[in-house]
Amino acid sequence: MRYAFILGRVYTLSLAELLQKLGNLGINYKVLACAPEVVVLETDQPIQADKLQPQLGGIIKIIRLLDTFQKKGKEYPSNALINYFNFKRIKSDYFGEYSGKRQFGVSIYSLDPAIRFREESSRIAFLIKKILQEQSVSVRAVLPQFPSMALSSVQVNENQLLTKGAEIVVVSGTQRVFVGKTLTVQNYEDYGRRDYQRPARDEKVGMIPPKVAQSMINMAGNLKPLDYILDPFCGSGTILQEALLLGLRAIGSDLEEKMIHNSEKNLEWFRNRYHVAPGRYKLFVSDAAEISLQLPRFPISAIVTEGTLGPIYGKVPKKSEMKANFKMLNKLYTQVFAEFKKFLPEGHRVVMCLPAYKASFTDYEYMDTVDFALSNGYTVLDSIPPELVKKYKFLKVTERKSIVYDRKDQVVAREIIIFQYGEERLELSGNEAGIVESQTSDVTE
């Protein structure tokens, strides 16, 4: 089975989450092609896209690939597909049962960022439309908004393409053209609801986006339904709510009573809005360095937290100020990671955000050490399999295996890092299960 996954803006984090999630589910895969916008995988079993899509914060679309063709260099995809589409194939392979006027769209994704096919969506769409109209099928083609080559998830949803017709997707590399249809798109409205409609929001203290929180939870290893995850710096409860949505139980604590009050309000709203069973979460006012006193009845399977990022800045602080912040956090986290050892089983994970100051458009100032974890018996895990990082040079993984999530308007970015306590767990998880590297020599394929 072959699938294409459209990656989010911070594509390295999106890919890391996807591969970890597939590993957690025991799905073996081979990476056939990868680019900043899309990854093509071959899996050993079918993927239940409708169930998987809502669990992946970083994946925009899941596409079932139906056919593959060889192509020559910069040959246009429409030339490679000129004899592929016919009425029978479009009706049986791409369109589902629908009695009204058909609506379909065409999206092109390039595996080589240097090659753009701006008119190809239109060419292929008009080819398909002509074939259908010749058979007296009433049809409307939806085209990407210039200069994009692909339809956004908003366009797919607003035009009801997945119910009234199809989004036909072409993934074009230098050697191959993959063609298929979109199975699911991300529910952007629901993510917005879970972020902006919560009753207690405090942007002054910074809030992790639900998509990022979900990605971090997926990177926390092979968690089972109703496992407990802990966020000892829970703030307004975003990580906790996303854990509940993924079928987990959540424990949250914060040193500030106001934050716990905000979490209470948000989680009660969330529980009612998303029909979460009662008793799935517990909140404490507690210093993270003393959280074990609150946990004798709660077996924690993973810790997922944004931690303390330090002050919020409107402009890049002086290096002396960065250094002072890092020193303070190093002292705090040394105590906190020593505390985690009291209850976190060996082989289990801590997925955490550390502050990264945006020194320039592409450069960051990081905490100079993670000895606060290493000295307490933790190791740093690969966010993405190292063979993929070596092969696909555009992947943005730091020297200490972490991934940075940032926004253009923010000075303090999030460095997401995976720690593991003690010895390796026996069962396979995201970094170990199902990874087979593609053997092609092409740079992007």
Global pTM reads 0.93
For 266-300, write each residue's pLDDT tens digit.
999 999 999 999 999 999 999 999 999 999 889 99
Cα–Cα dist 407/414, whole Å: 9
Cis status of the peptide bond prior to 199, with omega within 30 of 0: no
For β-strands 102-110 and 139-142, DSSP reports them as parallel
What is the per-residue pLDDT for 332?
Answer: 96
Other C-beta atoms lying within 10 Å of the C-beta of residue 244: 21
Max avg pLDDT among 310-319, 396-405, 427-436: 396-405
Of residues 63, 17, 353, 338, the one with CA closest to residue 184: 63
Cα–Cα dist 83/110, whole Å: 21
For 55-98, write each residue's pLDDT tens digit.
999 999 999 999 999 887 678 899 889 899 999 999 999 998 88
In terms of Cβ atoms closer than 10 Å to its own Cβ (0-12, 13-18, 19+), residue 147 is exposed
Cα–Cα dist 357/430, whole Å: 29
For 25-45, write each residue's pLDDT tens digit.
999 999 999 999 999 999 999
For 43-60, write each residue's pLDDT tens digit.
999 999 999 999 999 999
For 98-117, write each residue's pLDDT tens digit.
888 999 999 999 998 878 88
Q: How high does pLDDT run on average in the chain?
A: 91
Q: Give the DSSP letter string of 91-114.
A: IIII--S--S-EEEEEEEEESSTT
Cα–Cα dist 69/180, whole Å: 12
Cα–Cα dist 248/246, whole Å: 6
Cα–Cα dist 73/302, whole Å: 47
Domains of the chain listed by start with CATH number: 2-186 (3.30.2130.30), 199-421 (3.40.50.150)
Say how many Å lie between the first and final Cα of the chain, rounded.
17
In terms of Cβ atoms closer than 10 Å to its own Cβ (0-12, 13-18, 19+), residue 380 is middle
